[in-house]
Structure 1
Amino acid sequence: MTVRRYLDQRLKLHHLRAVEAIVAQRSILKAAAVIGLSQPALTKTLRELEDILQQRLFDRLPRGMRPTEAGLLLAQTARRILAELRRLDEELDRLADPEGGTVAVGTLPVAATGVLPGTLTRLKAAHPGISVRLEQGRTEELLPKLAAGEIDMIVGRLYEPAVPDGFPREPLWEEPISILARAEHPIFAVRKPALEQLRRYDLILPTVSQRVGQEIETLLDMLALEPTTSLRSSSYGFIREMLHATDLISVMPRLMMAGDLLRGTLKVVPLPVPAPPRPAGIILPRDRELPPAGHAFIACLRAHVAEIGQRGLAATTTEARAAPPRARRQPAPQPA
Structure 2
Amino acid sequence: MKRRYLEQKLKVRTLRAIDAIATHGSLLGAAKALNVAQPTLTRSLQELEETFGFRIFDRHARGVRLTPAGEVVWNSTRRILAEIRRLDGDLDRFLSGTAGSVAIGTLPVAAEGAVPRIMADARSRHPDLQIRLVQGRTEELLPLLAAGDIELVVGRLYGPDAPDGFRRETHYQEPISFVARADHPIFRLEAVTVADLARYKLVLPTLSQRLGREIEHILAEIGLSGQARLRSGSTGLTRDLVHHSDSLAILPSTLMSEDFERGTMRIVPFPVPSGQRDAGVIYRGEVPLSPAAEIVLAIIRETIGRIAGPGGAATRGTERFGTAAGEL
Q: Which aligned pairs between 1:7-46 and structure 2 lie closer than 5 A?
A: 8=8, 11-13=11-13, 15-24=14-23, 26=25, 36=33, 41=37, 45-46=41-42
CA positional deviation for 1:131: 0.9
> What pairs up with 1:209-288 in 2 under 5 angstroms?
211-226=210-225, 229-288=228-287
Counterpart-to-counterpart distance in 2, 1:28 and 1:249: 53
Counterpart CA distance in 2 for 1:180 and 1:60 is 54
Q: Cα offset for 1:78?
A: 1.8
TM-score, normalized by length of structure 1?
0.81
With over 3 angstroms needed to count, the CA separation of the structure-2 counterparts of 1:24 and 1:181, relative to structure 1, is: farther
Q: What is the DSSP-based 3-state SS (H/G/I as helix, E as strand, rest coil) of the residue aligned with 1:277?
A: coil
Deviation at 1:235, TM superposition (A): 2.3
Question: How far is 1:196 from its partner?
Answer: 1.2
Instruction: Name the aligned partner's letter for residue 308 of structure 2.
Output: I
1:119 aligns with 2:118: yes
**Partner residue in 1 for 2:323:** 317
Contact preservation (8 Å) 1:192, 1:272: no
Name the structure 2 match of 1:131.
130
Write the distance in 2 (CA, Å) between the matches of 1:240 and 1:255: 13
Structure 1 residue 177 and structure 2 residue 176: aligned? Answer: yes
State yes or no: 1:74 paired with 2:80. Answer: no
Q: Is the 8 A contact 1:5 1:53 kept in 2?
A: no
Unaligned runs of 5+ in 2: none
Structure 1 residue 135 displacement after superposition:
1.7
Please list the CA deviations of residues 300-329 of structure 1 after superposition, one character each: whole Å capped at 9, or x if unmatched. Answer: 223332223323155333253xxxxxxx5x
Cα deviation, residue 28, structure 1: 6.1
Shift of 1:186: 2.3
- Measure, in 2, the Cα distance between the counterparts of 1:59 and 1:131: 39
1:83-98 alignment to 2 at 5 Å? Answer: 83-98=82-97
Corresponding position of 1:53: 49
1:148 Cα deviation (Å)?
A: 2.9
Task: Kindly state the Cα deviation for residue 176 of structure 1 after the two structures are TM-superposed.
Answer: 0.5
Q: How many residues align?
A: 318
Instruction: Name the counterpart of 1:163.
Output: 162
Structure 2 CA distance for aligned equivalents of residues 65 and 221 of structure 1: 46
SS of 2:321's partner is coil
Does the CA contact (< 8 Å) of 1:19 and 1:71 recur in 2? no
Contact 1:18 1:46 in 2 (8 A): no
Aligned-pair CA distance for 1:123:
0.9
Structure 1 residues 200 and 63 mapped into 2: Cα distance closer, same or farther (>3 Å)?
A: farther
1:271 aligned counterpart, secondary structure: coil
Secondary structure class of the residue paired with 1:318:
coil
Larger deviation, residues 281-290 vs 50-59? 50-59
Output the CA distance in 2 between the equivalents of 1:43 and 1:218.
55
User: Any idea what SS the aligned residue of 2:275 has?
Assistant: coil
1:28–1:43 contact (8 Å) kept in structure 2: no
Q: Percent identity?
A: 43
In structure 2, do the counterparts of structure 1 residues 272 and 68 end up closer, same or farther at CA, with 3 Å as the change threshold? closer
Residues 102 and 131 in structure 2, CA contact (< 8 A), matched pair in contact too: yes
Contact 2:186–2:196 at 8 Å: present in 1 too? yes
Contact 2:308-2:323 within 8 A present in 1 as well:
no
The C-alpha deviation readout for 1:203-229, integer Å capped at 9, x for no partner, is 221126654233212221122223574
Give the Cα separation in 2 of the matches to 1:229 and 1:60. Answer: 52
2:308 aligns with: 308
Give a deviation string over 1:172-227, Cα, whole Å, max 9, x none.
Answer: 00000111222232222225322111111112211266542332122211222235
Q: Counterpart amino acid of 1:318?
A: A
- Residues 200 and 6 of structure 1, relative CA distance in 2, 3 Å threshold: closer
Q: Tell me the SS of whatever aligns to 1:168.
A: strand
Change (3 A) 1:18 1:259: farther
Q: What is the distance in 2 between the residues matched to 1:168 and 1:193? A: 40
Residue segments in structure 1 that go unaligned for 5+ positions in a row: 321-327
Instruction: Compute the displacement of 1:117 (Å).
Output: 0.2
User: Who is 2:142 aligned against?
Assistant: 143
Give the TM-score taking structure 2 as reference length.
Answer: 0.83
- C-alpha distance in 2 between matches for 1:254 and 1:118: 15
